[in-house]
Amino acid sequence: RRIASETLGGEAMGLTMAQKNTIRGMLADKQSVKTIAEQYEISQEEVQALAKPKAALSGFMFFCQDYREEAQSQVGSGAGEVQKVLGEKWGQTTDRQHWEKLAEKDKVRHDAEMAKYNAMLEAEAEEEQRMKDEAAAGPSVREVERDEKRARMQEEAARREAAPKKEKKQKVLSAEEKA
C-alpha cells in the first residue's frame, strides 16, 4: 500500500496527521528510521523531517569528544573507565571557556531548530483544524443526497398533479348487483 512519496520543504507529504504523530512516537521510542520508512513506504529523509531536533550538547560533552581517544589510550576500551577518567579530567580543568562557547553555539542551533520544528507542528495542527472546520461547515454527503431525493420526489408529485386525470370507467352492474 502506498501512503506517501513526495516531499516538499523537508516535510513528509501525503501522510495524515495521525500517521505523522505515529511516526513521531516511533522515533521517540528509538525505532529505526529505515524500518519506519519501509513500513510507511516513504524515504528516510521524510521520516527524519518528522523527527525532533537533536538536543544541544553541553560543554562537558564537547570536552569528551576532544579527549575520548586520549582517555581510551590510557585505560583501554572500557566505557565506564573512560567516562570516569574524562569526568576526573573535566573536574580538574579550570579553563572551560572553549567548550562552553561550543555549547552556547550548539544551544543556539538547537533553539533555532526547535523553533522551526514547533512552527511546523503548529502549521500541521492549523491545517488539520482548517480541514475539520471546512468539512463541518458544509452539508454532509448524506444531507446532499437526501435533498436531491426530496427534490426529485417533489418534481414527480408536481408532474402527476399537473397531468390530466383519466376518467374512470363506469362499472357495469350485473343483474344480481342491481338487485
- Asked whether 141 and 149 are in contact (CB, 8 A), the reply is no
DSSP 37-83: HHHHT--HHHHHHHSPPPPPPPHHHHHHHHHHHHHHHHH-S-HHHHH
140 pLDDT more than 80: no
C-alpha grid cell for residue 86? Answer: 574524562
Q: Report the alpha-carbon distance of residue 113 to residue 90 in Å, rounded.
A: 29
Q: Residue 123 CA to chain centroid, in angstroms?
A: 11
SS3 12: strand
What SS3 class is residue 138?
Answer: coil
Cα distance between residue 167 and residue 35, in whole Å: 79
In tens, the pLDDT along 89-122 reads: 999 989 999 999 999 999 999 999 999 999 999 9
pLDDT > 90 in the chain, percent: 52
pLDDT at 175: 78
Distance CA 115, CA 6 (A): 24
What is the average pLDDT score of the chain? 86
pLDDT at residue 1, rounded to an integer: 30
